């Protein structure tokens, strides 16, 4: 049986490099940590039984790229790391969590995050003729097709 | 050691191939008839739905998200609506929560029957395929009665559901389920006893429980390896804590176990539908929510027919999401698929088993790459 939110928060409090832990709801926890501590925090979570990789999300926050790794089957812990905007780089966790391998390839293709030590360098989500160095989910990328118009634009 | 010829050959399967219903590319390495390595490429279908969602309002996105997958459209909109509702911090009316379960389970039955037909076709049992798809029409009829559409139902909306049910409609759904149940039981009997099904699926596509857990497999693929994990039970999202149901598992760990798990899940879904219809609470079906979502982040997940479906929405307080992330069960099951295709020991994968193994995870590569398509074939 997996631990509940309070137990998980207690187990993670004081871990090296953890900047913030907050419970979003009964079964959602957000853990923010530094880039250098990321691998250690993920390893610790995997040791606590959070070894089911739900998803990996990259968000371009303009002042940096946020990498979110969502773990756990009943209680979901999200590990959040802020990466440098110009050259986002972080160590791969696919050796600790094999389920993260394709997730990391997806984030690499769509947001240009480099995963150090990743076993597979080939493209996965974008086609082979997609230009190098263009990352469609970055905010600087504008799609060629215009968005549909909205009828009214006032406060809703 | 040098030889005059290479022993290991590369065989590309896809992206267009008669045995594949999906635009994916499997680069197989074969030694004679045996698969010794595989590389996957799912990049043929990326059209950037996540990016498109950033340019549309929450309400427009409902219809965009629905078109990620034709078969799982109910699960897709449900996950999206749950995330938006969680941004608003609002609970939706109890009647709507129960109606969402009914719609979700009808679409699960539909998806599993569709898959079963495709699986029967992959093993060359086309009579079975025709019979199953005829009975699948019952669930399509029920979906049409419930929502007005056979496939793309647009049933879930932000804050509730779009249409209420009448007593007459509920009895039609009950009748449809009563017609379906004996058919599914008969198919289960055939799947267990028929020699051609057993020969093509037993011992094929082995995924050990340890591998299933390590690769973060989801849905029926995971449960057919004996691991009891279901989002409806582990992380109940729509009054599932008030509905009694069993999480179906099987210890077979092969393609046959995946057929049996899905058939048993159809029978379980019929029971869930019946329970929800008999215990349907009275009251409103919609809680109106503002067009703009408050600033914040929300994560939601749903047990889609193929497995765990996850959405993440980041809101900056405007009427459009800042980031909308979709993670589909097919992508989660790809590492497990690679393990199945390269399993060694007693069961070396024969190249003729590749289509069956691929079909056994119920893949939807368009979902994985997030693009519009309808139906399963």
Q: Where are the domains of chain B?
A: 49-324+350-359
Nearest to A137 among B51, B86, B331 (CB): B51
Residue A118: inside a domain, yes or no? yes
- Measured between beta carbons, which residues in chain A are less than 8 angstroms from residue B214? 51, 98-99
- Assigned domain for A150 exists: no
Q: Angle, nearest 10°, between helix axes B167-193 and B126-147?
A: 160
> For the residues B151-163, what does the mean pLDDT come to?
93
| pLDDT of B79 higher than 80 | yes
Best interface-test mutation with A: which of B216, B310, B314, B319 has the largest number of A CBs within 10 A? B216
Q: How confident is the model at residue B372 (pLDDT cuts 50, 70, 90)?
A: very low
Q: What is the pLDDT of residues A55-76, one digit of tens each?
A: 999 999 999 999 999 998 889 9
The whole-number average pLDDT for the span B328-352 is 84
The CATH number of residue A23's host domain is 3.30.460.80
CA distance A119 to A94: 8
Q: What is the mean pLDDT of chain B?
A: 89
Tell me whether A74 touches chain B (CB under 8 Å).
yes
**Domain membership of residue A121 as a residue range:** 5-145
DSSP element (H, E) containing B13: strand B8-13
Q: Is B41 strand, coil or helix?
A: strand
**A125–B contact, CB cutoff 8 A:** yes
φ and ψ at residue B144, rounded to 5 degrees: -65, -40
Higher-pLDDT residue of B7, B195: B195
Rounded average pLDDT over B297-315? 94
Confidence of residue B346 (pLDDT cuts 50, 70, 90): low
| Whether B161 contacts B154, CB under 8 Å | no
Q: How confident is the model at residue B135 (pLDDT cuts 50, 70, 90)?
A: very high
Confidence of residue A8 (pLDDT cuts 50, 70, 90): confident
B1: pLDDT strictly greater than 50: no
Decide if A116 is inside a domain: yes
Task: Give the pLDDT of residue A76.
Answer: 93
Q: Number of structural domains, chain A?
A: 1
pLDDT of A83 reads 95
Three-state SS sequence of A35-104: CCCHHHHHHHHHHCCCCCEEEEEEEECCCCEEEEEEECCCCEEEEEEEECCCCCEEECCCCCCHHHHHHH
pLDDT by residue (tens digit) across B102-111? Answer: 999 999 999 9
A98 at the B interface (CB within 8 A)? yes
Q: Kindly tell me if the per-residue pLDDT of A146 is higher than 70.
A: no
Residue A42 in any domain: the answer is: yes
How does pLDDT run across A115-126, given as a tens digit for each residue?
A: 999 988 888 888
In a domain, A80, yes or no: yes
Per-residue model confidence (pLDDT) at position A56 = 95
C-alpha dist (Å) from residue A152 to A30, A155, B8, B60, B291: 35, 9, 62, 13, 11
> Could you report the per-residue pLDDT of B238-255, keeping only the tens digit for each?
889 999 999 999 999 999
pLDDT tens per residue across span B208-229: 999 999 999 999 999 999 999 9
From the list A54, A102, A136, the residue facing B310 with the nearest CB is A54
| Residues in B touching A74 (Cβ below 8 Å) | 234-235
How confident is residue A14, by pLDDT bands cut at 50, 70 and 90? confident
pTM of the model: 0.93
Q: How far apart (Å, rounded) are the C-alpha atoms in residues A50 and A79?
A: 11
CA distance A40 to B234: 27
Report, as an integer, the average pLDDT of B142-154: 92
Tell me whether A141 touches chain B (CB under 8 Å): yes
ipTM for the whole predicted complex goes beyond 0.85: yes
pLDDT at B16 (0 to 100): 82
Which whole number is the average pLDDT over A78-107? 93
Least confident of A12-16, B107-111, B213-217, B285-289: A12-16
Going by C-beta distance under 8 Å and a sequence separation of 6 or more, which residues neighbour residue B214?
Answer: A51, A98, A99
Q: Residues with Cβ < 8 Å from B345, sequence gap 6 or more?
A: none
Rounded mean pLDDT, A20-29 = 89
Q: Is A107 near chain B, with CB under 8 Å?
A: no
Confidence of residue B296 (pLDDT cuts 50, 70, 90): very high
Report the pLDDT value the prediction gives residue A154, as an integer from 0 to 100. Answer: 54
Q: Are B155 and B280 in contact (CB under 8 A)?
A: no
Q: What is the CATH number of domain B49-324+350-359?
A: 1.10.645.10
Share of chain A above pLDDT 90, in %: 54
Taking only the tens place, the pLDDT of each residue in B44-64 is 877 788 998 999 999 999 999
Query: Residue B320: pLDDT above 90?
Result: yes
Which chain B residues have a beta carbon less than 8 Å from that of A73?
229, 234-235
Give pLDDT, residue A150.
Answer: 62
What distances in angstroms separate CA A89 from CA A36, A79, A104, B183, one per listed residue? Answer: 11, 16, 12, 55
């Amino acid at each position: 049986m997996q631990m509940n939110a309070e137990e998980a928060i207690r187990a993670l409090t004081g871990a090296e490099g953890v900047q913030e832990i907050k419970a979003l709801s009964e079964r959602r926890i957000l853990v923010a940590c530094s880039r250098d501590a990321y691998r250690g925090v993920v390893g610790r979570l995997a040791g606590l039984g959070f070894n089911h990789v739900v998803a990996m999300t990259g968000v371009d926050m303009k002042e940096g790229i946020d990498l979110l790794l969502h773990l756990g089957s009943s209680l979901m812990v999200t590990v959040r790391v802020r990466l440098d905007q110009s050259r986002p780089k972080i160590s791969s966790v696919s050796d600790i969590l094999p389920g993260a391998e394709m997730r990391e390839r997806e984030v690499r293709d769509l947001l240009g995050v480099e995963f150090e030590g990743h076993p597979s360098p080939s493209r996965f989500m974008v086609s082979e003729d997609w230009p190098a160095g263009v990352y469609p989910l970055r905010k600087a990328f504008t799609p060629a097709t215009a968005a549909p118009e909205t009828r009214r634009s006032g406060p809703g | 050691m040098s030889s005059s010829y290479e022993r290991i050959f590369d065989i590309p399967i896809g992206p267009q191939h008669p045995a594949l219903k999906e635009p994916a590319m499997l680069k197989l390495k074969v030694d004679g008839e045996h698969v010794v390595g595989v590389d996957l490429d799912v990049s043929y279908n990326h059209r950037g739905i996540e990016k498109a969602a950033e340019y549309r309002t929450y309400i427009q996105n409902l219809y965009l998200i629905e078109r990620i997958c034709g078969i799982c459209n109910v699960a897709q909109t449900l996950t999206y609506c749950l995330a938006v509702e969680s941004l608003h911090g609002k609970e939706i009316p109890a009647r709507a929560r129960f109606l969402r379960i009914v719609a979700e389970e009808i679409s699960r039955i539909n998806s599993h029957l569709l898959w079963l037909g495709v699986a029967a076709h992959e093993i060359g049992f086309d009579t079975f395929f025709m019979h199953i798809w005829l009975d699948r029409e019952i669930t399509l009829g029920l979906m049409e009665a419930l929502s007005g559409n056979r496939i793309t139902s647009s049933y879930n909306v932000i804050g509730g559901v779009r249409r209420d049910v009448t007593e007459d409609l509920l009895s039609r759904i009950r009748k449809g389920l009563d017609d379906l149940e004996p058919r599914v039981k008969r198919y289960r009997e055939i799947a267990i006893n028929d020699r051609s099904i057993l020969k093509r699926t037993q011992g094929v596509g082995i995924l050990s429980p340890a591998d299933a857990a390590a690769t973060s497999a989801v849905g029926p693929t995971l449960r057919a390896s004996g691991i009891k994990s279901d989002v409806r039970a582990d992380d109940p999202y729509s009054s599932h804590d008030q509905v009694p149901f069993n999480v179906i598992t099987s210890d077979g760990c092969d393609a046959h176990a995946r057929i049996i798990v899905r058939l048993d899940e159809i029978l379980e879904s019929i029971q869930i539908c019946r329970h929800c219809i008999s215990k349907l609470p009275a009251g409103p079906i919609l809680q109106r929510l503002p067009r703009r979502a408050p600033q914040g982040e929300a994560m939601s997940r749903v047990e889609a027919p193929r497995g765990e479906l996850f959405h993440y929405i980041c809101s900056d307080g405007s009427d459009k999401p800042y980031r909308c992330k979709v993670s589909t069960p097919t992508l989660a099951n790809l590492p497990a698929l690679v393990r199945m295709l390269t399993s060694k020991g007693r069961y070396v994968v024969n190249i003729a088993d590749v289509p069956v193994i691929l079909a056994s995870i119920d893949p939807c590569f368009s979902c994985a790459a997030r693009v519009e398509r309808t139906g399963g074939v």
